[in-house]
Amino acid sequence: MYGLYTPILLLQVFCVYHAYRNHAEHRWYWLIIFFPLIGCIIYLAYTFNNKATLKTLAENVKEVVISNYRLEQLEKALRFSDNFKNKINLADAYIENGRYQDAIGLYSGCLQGFMSDDPSVRMKLLQAHFMNAEYDTAVECGNKLESEKSFNQSEERVTYAWSLFQTGEADKAESIFTDMDRSYTNYYQRSEYCKFLLKREKSEFAKEKLSNLLEEFDQMQDTERRLKKNIHREIRDLYATFFRGV
């Protein structure tokens, strides 16, 4: 019963919020509140009679409901067996759902015993502190990871660089970005470096770096380019945003 109730409650909250934002008649509130499932279905069917819109809405609702259900299952698994794997799985899910403080608690709890120095967990913890806007703590995490080989060219090291920037250590941040600026690899790291350069108003240098990246993509085989299509699109969009017509 509990597992069924939560998704219905989420759907009910969504419908009430949507009705409020769209200045719906008061009768809809009564229907949604007193007849949660049936009322929501009637409201959605009446409000979203366009098939394309209704499909989009259904996908959004489904995503919320499934995410919540997945969290419940992971929390239940951790209560049943308090082990490293279950903690990490739940912490990762908390990150996906924006519950950064909860994730930090779990990641920290994993750094015990023989896992106390595990680089992969410490990198996750670094990310969580950054996403929770705890930049000083993120810098501390990064400082301790700098000697780790697995950290050297990782995406988490980008987070470390941004944390340094946020705490006023822009020059040190730039040295880290420079260290990861390697041709024909590290495309995410280098795209973030370009964003960093733009933040520091080094536009000409950023333009040069972006041009180099785009040239590398032009030289790739189609298969490889398709595998990297998301970062390719991001780099293209970044160049177009700042340098179109320049």
**pLDDT number for residue 69:** 73
The 10s digit of each residue's pLDDT in 221-235 is: 999 999 999 999 999
**pLDDT number for residue 1:** 41
Return the domain boundaries, the chain: 181-246
DSSP letter string, the chain = -HHHHHHHHHHHHHHHHHHHHTT--HHHHHHHHHSHHHHHHHHHHHH--SHHHHHHHHHHHHHHHHHHHHHHHHHHHHHH---HHHHHHHHHHHHHTT-HHHHHHHHHHHS-GGGTT-HHHHHHHHHHHHHTT-HHHHHHHHHHHTT-GGGTTSHHHHHHHHHHHHTT-HHHHHHHHHHT--TTS-HHHHHHHHHHHHHTT-HHHHHHHHHHHHHHHHHS-HHHHHHTHHHHHHHHHHHHHHHTT-
pTM of the full structure: 0.74
Give every CB contact of residue 234 below 8 A, 6+ residues apart in sequence: 191
The 10s digit of each residue's pLDDT in 104-136 is: 999 999 998 888 889 999 999 999 999 999 999
**pLDDT number for residue 62:** 57
pLDDT of the chain along its 246 residues, tens only?
A: 444 456 778 888 888 888 888 877 888 888 888 887 778 888 777 777 655 555 565 556 555 555 677 888 889 999 999 999 999 999 999 998 889 999 999 999 999 888 888 999 999 999 999 999 999 999 999 999 999 999 999 999 999 999 999 999 999 999 999 999 999 999 999 999 999 999 999 999 999 999 999 999 999 999 999 999 999 999 999 999 888 755
**pLDDT number for residue 67:** 64
